[in-house]
Amino acid sequence: MFIFVMRHGEAVHTFNVDEHRPLTSRGDGQSQKAARWLKRYQTSQNMTISHALVSPFLRAQQTYQHIDHLLDIKFNQTAEDIVPSGDIHIAHDFVDAYCQSSSPVSGLLLVSHMPFVSYFIDELCQSQMSRIFTTASIVCIDYDLSTSKGQLVAEFSP
């Protein structure tokens, strides 16, 4: 199974409440480019992203809307555990349980934030890469649910 971990597109820098920061027009464009890359990648791998977990923060939700518009992901859920300060261990356990209990998951997309995405990649791959994600960047992990471990196999940055 493939797990795609994505950081949201560029958002306005200042806003009264961090959770309500919207995407900029540049962030909209980045998200659309990322959607096109995901579409090409899933076609090249002969797979489908069937499920998505999305942070409740506005900028992540808006990023996901661009992705879903092009990919038409069948199952999506807002996940409170994948916010910037989310616990990667809890999120990892949640992803494993979600994939085991949901209808067959052919591919899973997570749309979240820094620093969560960087730490989460390390957790899934059991490594210490500590990647810095630019906005709307995506990594693809070939994930073995039986061992709860993955390997980074592709990446995209707009």
Q: Which helix (H) or strand (E) is 110 found in, with range?
A: strand 107-112
Domain 2-12+20-156 adopts which CATH fold? Rossmann fold (3.40.50)
Helix (H, G, I), strand (E, B), or coil: what is residue 144? Answer: strand
pLDDT in tens, 49-91: 999 999 999 999 999 999 999 998 999 999 999 999 999 999 9
**Is the alpha carbon torsion for 68, 53, 150, 118 positive or negative?**
positive
Q: What is the pTM of this model?
A: 0.96
Give the residue from 131, 113, 135, 132 showing the smallest Cα distance to 122.
131
Judge if the upstream peptide bond of residue 56 is cis by omega within 30 degrees of 0.
no
Domain boundaries, the chain: 2-12+20-156
pLDDT in tens, 91-125: 999 999 999 997 789 999 999 999 999 999 999 99
